[in-house]
Amino acid sequence: MTVLVTGATGTVGHYLVDHLLALGVTVRCLTRTPEKASFPGGVEVVRGDLGAPESLDEAFDGVSSAHLITFAGEDYAPIPDGSAVVGKLLAAGVSRVSLLKGDSSASLVEEAVFASSLRWTVLAPVEFMANMLEWTDGVRKGRLEEGFVDVPSTVVHESDIAKVAARVLVHGGYDNETLWITGPEALTVRERVAVIEQVTGRAVALTELPAAALEAQWTAYGFSADDVSFMLQMKTNPPEASRIPRDTVRRVTGHQPLSFREWVQEHAGVFSNNQPGSRGLPRR
């Protein structure tokens, strides 16, 4: 069985590659730049661009199931021709896909998948724990500015999102379902910072930024007005799963989801010294 991973060099995708290898299947990784990518031994690596469906034939050939991101490009713009990508998947004989959901509205590729004969499972994660890598510099300096510091969020470990995807892609089930994927507990920013302090032994003075300052910061980072409004809505009117943990990870994988403390323990070196931490802009 060959499983294709799009976004294989990304935050969720690199964990998915590992989980699929552990399940004993052949893993094929799609990347626009194989020369820059580094993957575990034994995986197939194919060049392709989801924004250019004509580049995907080799990547899709002989694949049973595929994990799809819904964007194409650095700015997370939706894949422009979702129908063409789905047409290529069907022509190659792919029967099942997992879709990593972005915004609350369905993207073009999701709509094309829903209208097709593919069996699909939408993975709808809440806020990634990896977003907290944006705090790296602040934690090192002992001064952090953040907004909405008392809003709880059921932050999820990226590995758990990938574990759910791997299970569905290899063993099936959850056909035509949307799975909310959360961590085991809802923690405010204040509580997450306290966990980082306990694990790293560093004191961090947290200052609350007013919403307007946060919006200005996001805009300065280059986010569009739509993105800013989406991110603000996630803070002021979050979906229920962002407030109340779901048991999806345990139900689908048989394992308890990883806690924020475990995530910080894995990344303690990043918060404590000069290992590269943040990958740049905050991610949605």
Ligand X SMILES: NC(=O)c1ccc[n+]([C@@H]2O[C@H](COP(=O)([O-])OP(=O)(O)OC[C@H]3O[C@@H](n4cnc5c(N)ncnc54)[C@H](OP(=O)(O)O)[C@@H]3O)[C@@H](O)[C@H]2O)c1
The residues that touch ligand X, with contacts defined as CB under 6 A, are 6-13, 30-33, 37, 49-51, 69-73, 76, 100, 102, 125, 127-128, 131, 283-284
Q: How many CB atoms lie within 10 A of CB 22?
A: 10
Output phi, psi for 19, to 5 deg: -65, -35
What is the closest distance, in whole angstroms, from the C-beta atom of residue 142 to ligand X in the complex? 25
Question: Looking at beta carbons only, is 128 or 271 nearer to ligand X?
Answer: 128
* Ramachandran assignment for 140, one of left (phi > 0), alpha (psi -120 to 50 degrees), beta (any other): alpha
Question: Looking at beta carbons only, is 49 or 272 nearer to ligand X?
Answer: 49
Element containing residue 269 per DSSP (H, E): helix 268-272
Question: Looking at beta carbons only, is 272 or 282 nearer to ligand X?
Answer: 282
28, 78, 107 from 102: Cα distances, Å: 23, 9, 8
Find the Cα–Cα–Cα–Cα dihedral 113, 117, 121, 122, rounded to 10°.
20
Question: Looking at beta carbons only, is 51 or 87 nearer to ligand X?
Answer: 51
What is the closest distance, in whole angstroms, from the C-beta atom of residue 217 to ligand X in the complex? 16
Unique residue bearing structure tokens 């909310």: 180
- The answer to whether the beta carbons of residues 162 and 125 sit under 8 Å apart is no
What is the closest distance, in whole angstroms, from the C-beta atom of residue 201 to ligand X in the complex? 27
Question: Looking at beta carbons only, is 30 or 270 nearer to ligand X?
Answer: 30
Strand partners, 128: 156
- The answer to whether the beta carbons of residues 200 and 33 sit under 8 Å apart is no
**Entry field: residues in the chain:** 284
Question: Looking at beta carbons only, is 100 or 214 nearer to ligand X?
Answer: 100
Question: Looking at beta carbons only, is 142 or 177 nearer to ligand X?
Answer: 177
The rounded distance, in Å, linking the Cα atoms of 212 and 220 is: 12
Instruction: Name the amino acid, one letter, at 185.
Output: E
What is the closest distance, in whole angstroms, from the C-beta atom of residue 77 to ligand X in the complex? 9
What is the closest distance, in whole angstroms, from the C-beta atom of residue 256 to ligand X in the complex? 20
What is the closest distance, in whole angstroms, from the C-beta atom of residue 102 to ligand X in the complex? 3
User: Residue number with the shortest CB distance to ligand X?
Assistant: 10
